[in-house]
Every structure is written in structure tokens, then in C-alpha cells.
Amino acid sequence: MKKTIPLFIVILGGLIFVAYAFSPHRFLQDDFYNKFYVPWTYASAPFAALLGIISLSMMHSSKIKRRAPKWQFSYFFFAGFIVTALAGLIGGMQKGGLFMWMFENMQMPMSATMFSLLAFYMASAAYKAFRARSMEATVLLVAAIFVMLAQVPLGVKISKHLPTISQWILDVPNLASKRGIGLGVGLGAVATSLKILLGIERSYLGGGD
């Protein structure tokens, strides 16, 4: 019963969404989706968020209790959580308030910093990828040189054909492989959905039978 009822709910929900995909009828598009499904999704999301907050709080409080390595950092979680929550609840989330100030002056720069690291990581990854140690790696290196050079004015100076070659690489071999993967992904997604609908795939129910 522990698995049967959730399985039944999932299969029923899945079948409704199959019908939703194929039927433009008002009952499914308006009455079910807009008036029932969407409001319930909005209503239930905060409860799931609460689960997340409880989980995070429990993990950090247990770290502090156990004096786990680097347990002092857990205080930062609580401090950040409480200050941000209070700033939002008391001062509101509008521009000019403490919450938005913290978002713009703390979270955004920190996120931007993390994102900017990507450039250096890419250089490091490119170095690893472009070492011409095998035939495949050499092809990758040559293709990358063409594409990269075509992106900068210097490439056009070297040869006026470079942008055409670069575009051909992007449009033909690159796009073909992307579409190949895309086709597999699409079919795989349909297969997984079918497995769920037919009750073959049950991992999302929390493992075991």
C-alpha cells in the first residue's frame, strides 16, 4: 500500500498530462491546468521549501553539536538565514530595502565571482582537451582553432574563408552530433515517461519495492 497509492497517483497524473498534451479541450487546458494544477503547485511549493530549510538547519545544528570539522562555518548559515529572512519579512523585498541591498551587494557579486571563475576553468579544461595525444584529440584541436580564430578579427585577417569554415564546422558536424544526442535524449525521455506511466520505473518512489 505504501507504494501502490503513490504509484496510482503518479500513473493517473501522468495519464492526465498525456491527455493534456494531445487535447486542446477547455476542460483540460483551463479547468484542470490553469484552475486546478497551477494553483495547487503554487500552494504546495512553500511546504516543500520548509522541508529543505528544516533539512539544512538540522544538518548544520548537528555539525555544531558534534563539533564536526569546520563546524564554525555553520554559524554563518544560521546568521545568513536569519538576517536575510528578517530583512525580507520586516523590510520587504523591494528595491532600496535591506533584503535587496544584500541581494545586490552580497549575493550577486558572489555569484558573479563564481561564474567568472568559469573562464579560468575553461582555459584549464581546454588545455587538457587540446593536447594532441590521439587522433580524436587532434581533430578537436584543429576544429577548435578554426572556430576560435573565426570569432576574432585576426581570423578574418588570416583568411577570409575562415569564418565560412568555422560556420560549416558549427552547422554540419557539430550540429549533426548535437542533433544525434538530442534525438537519443528525446527518445530516452519518452521511454522514461512510458516506464513511469506503465509502472516499470519506480525509483522516484524512494527505492525498494
Partner 1 sequence: MRLDRRRLILLLLLAFTVLVTVIIAQKQEDKDQYMVKDFQVDDVLADDGSGLVLSWKPLDRSKRIIEYRVYRGVSPDQLFFLDAIPVNVKIGVASDRMYYYDNSGSEFIDIASPRHLKKEKQQDAKSPLYRKMPRDIPFLAGMADKFSLLSLVDKGKYYYSSKQFTTDKPTTPGPDGKIPESGDTYAGLKDYQQSVICFLKPGEKYYYTVVAVNERSKFQKPAAITVGTPIPNPPDPSPALYTVVLEDKRTLQFEWDYPLYKDDIAQYRIHQLPAMSDTMWMQLKQNPEALQGKTNVVAQGGVGSGSLKNYTTIPLTTEEAVAKFAEARYSIELMDYDGFSSYSPLSVPRLKQSSALPPIANFKVEDKPNDKGDRLTVTWDAPICFVVKTTALDSKFSRLRLNYQLNKTEVQKVKNIYFEFFKTGESKPFAKIKEFYQDDKIVLKLPKGYDYKQGFRVKITMEGKPEIPKDYMLEQDLMFDPPMMAIMPTKALYRNGLDVSRISNVVYKKTISSPNLTLVKRNTSFDNSLDVTIPYPSLMQKPVQGLSFAKDDSLITLINGSQGMERKARKLQSGDIKTPLVLLSADLDLVFDKKNETRIDTSLFPSVGVKLAKDKVEELKTTLADLNAQKAALPDPAMAAQLDSQIDKVSKQLAAYSENNNLTHANAIKGKRSRMRYIAGVREDYSRYNTYQVVKTDGKGMFVEGELPKDGEEIRYLKPVSQWFDANKYVTLFATFLFATMVMVFVNLAKRGKDLYIRPIAGIQEIDNAIGRATEMGRPMLYCMGIGSMTDVATIASLGILGLVAKRAAEYDTKLIVPCYDYILLPIAQEIVREAHYSVGRPDTYDKNTVFYLTNSQFAYVAGVNGIMIRERMATNFFLGYFAAEALLMTETGNSVGAVQIAGTDAVTQVPFFITTCDYTLIGEELYAASAYLNREPMLLGTLKAQDYFKFFILTIMILGAVLSTFQFTGLNELLPLK
Instruction: Give the Å distances, CA to CA, from 57 to 3, 63, 70, 74, 202.
Output: 29, 10, 16, 9, 30
Answer yes or no whether residue 160 interacts with partner 1 by CB under 8 A.
no
Per CB under 8 A, the segment of 82-90, 122-130, 150-158, 161-169 that binds partner 1 is 122-130
Compute the least distance from the CB of residue 126 to partner 1, in Å: 8
Compute the least distance from the CB of residue 78 to partner 1, in Å: 14
Cell matching residue 201:
520505473
Contact 20, 28 (CB under 8 A): yes
| Integer Cα distance of 57 and 60 in angstroms | 5
Helix or strand (DSSP H, E) at 52: helix 38-66
Question: What secondary structure letter does DSSP report for 93?
Answer: S
**Coil, strand, or helix at residue 206?**
coil
Compute the least distance from the CB of residue 158 to partner 1, in Å: 22
Question: Can you spell out the DSSP letters for 99-129?
Answer: HHHHIIIIIHHHHHHHHHHHHHHHHHHHHHH
Compute the least distance from the CB of residue 55 to partner 1, in Å: 5
Nearer to partner 1, 73 or 154 (CB): 73
Answer yes or no whether residue 67 interacts with partner 1 by CB under 8 A.
no
Answer yes or no whether residue 183 interacts with partner 1 by CB under 8 A.
yes
Residues binding partner 1: number (CB under 8 A): 66
Interacting residue with partner 1 among 39, 62, 161, 167 (CB under 8 A): 62
Interacting residue with partner 1 among 38, 83, 110, 154 (CB under 8 A): 110
Contact 130, 144 (CB under 8 A): yes
Answer yes or no whether residue 30 interacts with partner 1 by CB under 8 A.
yes
Site mask for partner 1 (CB under 8 A), range 70-99, x = bound: x-----------------------xxxx--
| C-alpha of 3 from chain center | 28
Nearer to partner 1, 116 or 153 (CB): 116
CA proximity to 172, closest of 146, 151, 205? 146
The site for partner 1 (CB under 8 A) is made up of: 21-27, 29-30, 45, 48-49, 51-53, 55-56, 58-59, 62, 69-70, 94-97, 107, 110-112, 114-115, 117-118, 121-122, 124-126, 128-129, 178, 181-185, 187-196, 198, 200-201, 203-208
